């Protein structure tokens, strides 16, 4: 199994500022993802974090707004840039392993972001 930790767990930020969320996995994983969950809604994939290369962003999400780093197989960061109240959400880091017929998905505890 894998345990994912995220920092910070929550934050209240001012409009126009940026916040970097850290995601640490306690073992090596092949895939890491960042999701956003707006109030009352299900999860929306922001991007797949690729080790050592640029992240793969989903439609509607761009690197300038959500820069992502993944320097190794256990760590990734997501930055929410130039925040507005519409960015208030839970941001979840997720990691996956797909090998030898298994498909395992792990989720972090989430970062609850409020933008004033």
Partner 1 sequence: KNEVEQSPQNLTAQEGEFITINCSYSVGISALHWLQQHPGGGIVSLFMLSSGKKKHGRLIATINIQEKHSSLHITASHPRDSAVYICAVRRTSGSRLTFGEGTQLTVNP
110 binds partner 1 (CB under 8 A): yes
Taking the C-alpha atoms of residue 54 and residue 48, their distance in angstroms, rounded to an integer, is 9
CB of 26 to partner 1, least distance (A): 15
- Under the criterion CB under 8 A, does residue 66 sit at the interface with partner 1? no
Contacts of partner 1 in 23-62 (CB under 8 A): 31, 33, 37, 41-43, 45, 48, 58
Query: Rounded to the nearest whole angstrom, what is the least distance from the CB of residue 68 to partner 1 in the complex?
Result: 15
Q: What burial class does residue 81 get, using C-beta atoms within 10 Å of its C-beta: 0-12 exposed, 13-18 middle, 19+ buried?
A: middle
Rounded Cα distance between 65 and 5, Å, is 23
**Pair type for strands 10-13 and 111-115:** parallel
Which parts of 83-102 interact with partner 1 (CB under 8 A)? 90, 92, 96, 98, 101-102
Cβ atoms of 76 and 23 closer than 8 Å: yes
Instruction: Confirm or reject binding of residue 14 to partner 1 (CB under 8 A).
Output: no
d(CA 99, CA 116): 43
Residues that bind partner 1 (CB under 8 A): 31, 33, 37, 41-43, 45, 48, 58, 90, 92, 96, 98, 101-110, 112
């Amino acid at each position: 199994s894998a345990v994912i930790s995220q920092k910070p767990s929550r934050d209240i930020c001012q409009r126009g500022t940026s916040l970097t969320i850290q995601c640490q996995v306690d073992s090596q994983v092949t895939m890491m993802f960042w999701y956003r969950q707006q109030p009352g809604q299900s999860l929306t994939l922001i991007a797949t974090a690729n080790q050592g290369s640029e992240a793969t962003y989903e439609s509607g999400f761009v690197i300038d707004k959500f820069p992502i780093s993944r320097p190794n197989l256990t760590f990734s960061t997501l930055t929410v840039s130039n925040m507005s109240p519409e960015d208030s959400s839970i941001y979840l880091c997720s990691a996956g392993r797909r090998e030898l017929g298994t498909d395992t998905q792990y989720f972090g505890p989430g970062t609850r972001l409020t933008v004033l």
